[in-house]
Structure 1
Amino acid sequence: MDISQFIGGNGVTIFLAAFVLLSVYLAVRIVPQSEKHVVERFGRLRAVLGPGINFIVPFLDRVAHKVSILERQLPNAEQDAITKDNVLVKVETSVFYRILEPEKTVYRIRDVDGAIATTVAGIVRAGIGEMDLDEVQSNRQQLIDQIKAQVAYAVEDWGIEVTRAEILDVNLDQATRDAMLQQLNAERARRAQVTEAEGKKRAIELKADADLYAAQKSAEARRVSAEAEAYATGVVAKAIADNGLEAAQYQVALKQVEALAAVAVGEGNQTIVMPASAIEAFGDAFKLLKGRGT
């Protein structure tokens, strides 16, 4: 056998083996978990390869784009906006997103980050323009939800999912801050005056209630005393009505004797000087008592 024929035959074999190995190498594509590969055939979209082992037609298909599907964060952006009550604010935002359909992203938009940033800026300005400054400060979560929903709708055709949208800060210029500080101090002073006035009013009301309560109790005491006196008078009147005038005279005489006995009781000898009329009264009293005793 001619040596040239041997070398030629081996060369073809080697060439064929190399071609087969190269074809296998080009046909097998291993895609990482964090990526998706866009395959083109003659410049047109052929397929999107997911994570794992994939096969393509060598020499006809090629991987044109390797797209990461990890969540991405846009650089923090700051844009000016004017509130409904004409206050200029600087809003700092941050947006997180990820690519779900890379075939849409690579063929429909060139600069994804720039497009999303521009969209967010427009939505933030429009949203803040519909709210007063106090609403922007107090309803920040509502504004965040509104931005996220509108951005998600705007980028839907780009195969992108907005996972989070945050408003990091709302800054005011120095003049607005000074005005708000003055307003805050004035509001605090007004509240203090209102609280003090309400306290004085409450104290007056409580004192009036106390005076009214004392007057009511005093009136009740007088009423009870009057009722007791009326009851005692009624008892005496009833006794007089039942027993006649003699019973009344008897009670008076009894009291006079008791008074005389109380005066007579004491240490040592005592001399009691009484007018003649008093002696006659006591005499009458003794006669009545004597008559009652019998």
Structure 2
Amino acid sequence: MIDHAALAETIRRHEAAQGQPISRLGYFCAPFRPAKGPFSEHVIKVYRGLPDAGALDRLAAAHEDYVAALRETGVPLPETTFLLLESEGARVPVIVQEALPEASLMRPRMQAEGLEATLEMMEAAGQVIARFWNAADRFDTRIGFHPSIRNFAVVDGTAVFYDTFPPLIHYSRDEMGRMLLLFSEKRLMRLVGPLMRKRVTGIQDEWYSAPETLVGLVGSACRLRPEHGEHYLAWGRAFAAREMPRWQDEAIADMQEMPRLPGYWTGFRKLLGLQGAPNA
């Protein structure tokens, strides 16, 4: 059971001290890990609030269902709690998550380690992707998955997924498109985004496609380590045939050469100042 008062005080102190977030890669928030106190072994993610109480309650219920669905499909997750924290008369969505060892985060490891080690991490992440999609049709609702390299840690050879927001379950495509704008941490995105709503909405499409999530993983690896790109493409083609045969034709066709990000998403990241080079 989380002590809401202690959590609110931890967030207040962090904001007052203007502490450094553990990551600046986030689209929705900048997670932080307190240096001391009751949450020092956790990562805290604070999101924008909404004036619509019903929308917040729906978000909380969807997050609970999404975490349950991820666990049911065999996706390894750290202990993750979603709550609506009272703050200045409003409720603010907060996720409190068990911290993973910093040395296990997949993205910096992919940048630093050798070819064999990076292929082992790709295999670990790929197994999670395949496990999810091979079981996802058991759910009678729209459900997606965002298994990017920056959303994994690899602990003792197992890929652990840790990005549960927004909860990619139950929401229609248009509803999720609106969420991408409503919860964006960047004010500029909330102002400019509605003018390009169709393109913003399209950002999510990869997350709801089994072959595209695998292709996205391989594309990110190729952009991080272009010197190993041909090895990653070969791994991806073999993996699709071996572990995701239902989608192998589409996946393999998109891994004949280095996959590229849509130009509008690259432009959005530059516009918002989101760090991510070189896989941006």
TM-score (norm 2): 0.17
TM-score (norm 1): 0.17
Greater RCO, CA 8 A, separation 6+: 2
